[in-house]
Amino acid sequence: MTVVPMAQGQLNIVSTCEAVILDSRHFIANPQQSPQGRWYQHWPQIDCGERLHAQALVELCQNVVSEPGPTLLVYDSLHPAARGATPLLQSLLSQCPGFIETFGICSGRFDPEHAGSLASTLLQPGQRLLYVHDPLQRLSRDPAPQRATLHYLVFSAPASGEQWIPSLPH
C-alpha cells in the first residue's frame, strides 16, 4: 500500500509557567533537588483555555479531522500517552473529537522517517493520519519560558484509483 505525505508544518510556541504547589495531585520525587526546591508547570502562552495545548494545535487538529475521510491521530510527546491514557492526550481529544483511532507515543525526537513508517503501518486505504510531535516539557525545574517547535505531518493512504489533494497549509 502506498502512503502519501499530504502536508507538513510546524507551530512555534513559547511557554509560560507557574510554580507547582505539592498536593495530592502532584508527585515529585525528591523536590529538594531543584533550585529553591521548586518545580514549574509549563504550558503554551497562547493556549486552548485549559493551559495544556497551544490554541494553534487545537485548530490544526480540528481542521484535519473536519476534512472528509477517516483520520487517525499519533501524538508524540515527551511522556508516553498510551491510547489516550494521559490527561494531556485526553484533553486534546475532548477538544478535537472525530479521530477514528488515537495513539500516544514517546519517541524522544522528531523524525519524519519514523512518522512515515508509523503511517505505513497504521493506515488502511482511504484513511489519513495526523502525526504531531510536541516537545514541550510540561514539568521543569526552570521557570524560564521554553521555546518549542511542534512539528506535524499529514499522510494519506488513498483508496485504489483515488487521488487526495491536500487542503492544509504546508
Task: Name the residue range of residue 55's domain.
Answer: 4-15+37-157
Residue 30: all three cell numbers together:
525528591
Residue type, 42: H
Number of domains in the chain: 1
For residue 27, is it within any domain?
no
For residue 53, is it within any domain?
yes
For residue 170, is it within any domain?
no
For residue 20, is it within any domain?
no
Q: CA angle, corner 126, sides to 123 and 131, nearest 5? A: 40
Q: Which residues neighbour 31 within 8 Å (Cβ) at sequence distance 6 or greater?
A: 22, 37, 38, 39
Is the distance from CB of 40 to CB of 140 less than 8 angstroms?
Answer: yes
Question: What's the pLDDT tens digit per position in 145-165?
Answer: 999 999 999 999 988 655 544
For residue 30, is it within any domain?
no
Q: How much is the pTM?
A: 0.83
Q: What is the CATH number of the domain that holds 56?
A: 3.40.47
* DSSP H helical ranges for 8-151: 55-66, 87-95, 112-122
For residue 41, is it within any domain?
yes
Residue type, 68: P
For residue 168, is it within any domain?
no
For residue 89, is it within any domain?
yes
Residue 91: all three cell numbers together:
484533553
* DSSP H helical ranges for 10-159: 55-66, 87-95, 112-122
147, β-bridge pairs: 14
Is the distance from CB of 128 to CB of 101 less than 8 angstroms?
Answer: no
Q: Which residues neighbour 94 within 8 Å (Cβ) at sequence distance 6 or greater?
A: none
Residue 97: all three cell numbers together:
473529537
pLDDT in tens, the chain (170 residues): 789 999 999 999 999 999 987 665 555 555 555 446 688 889 999 998 888 899 999 999 999 999 999 999 999 987 655 444 567 788 888 899 999 999 888 888 899 999 999 999 999 999 999 999 999 988 888 999 999 999 999 999 988 655 544 444 44
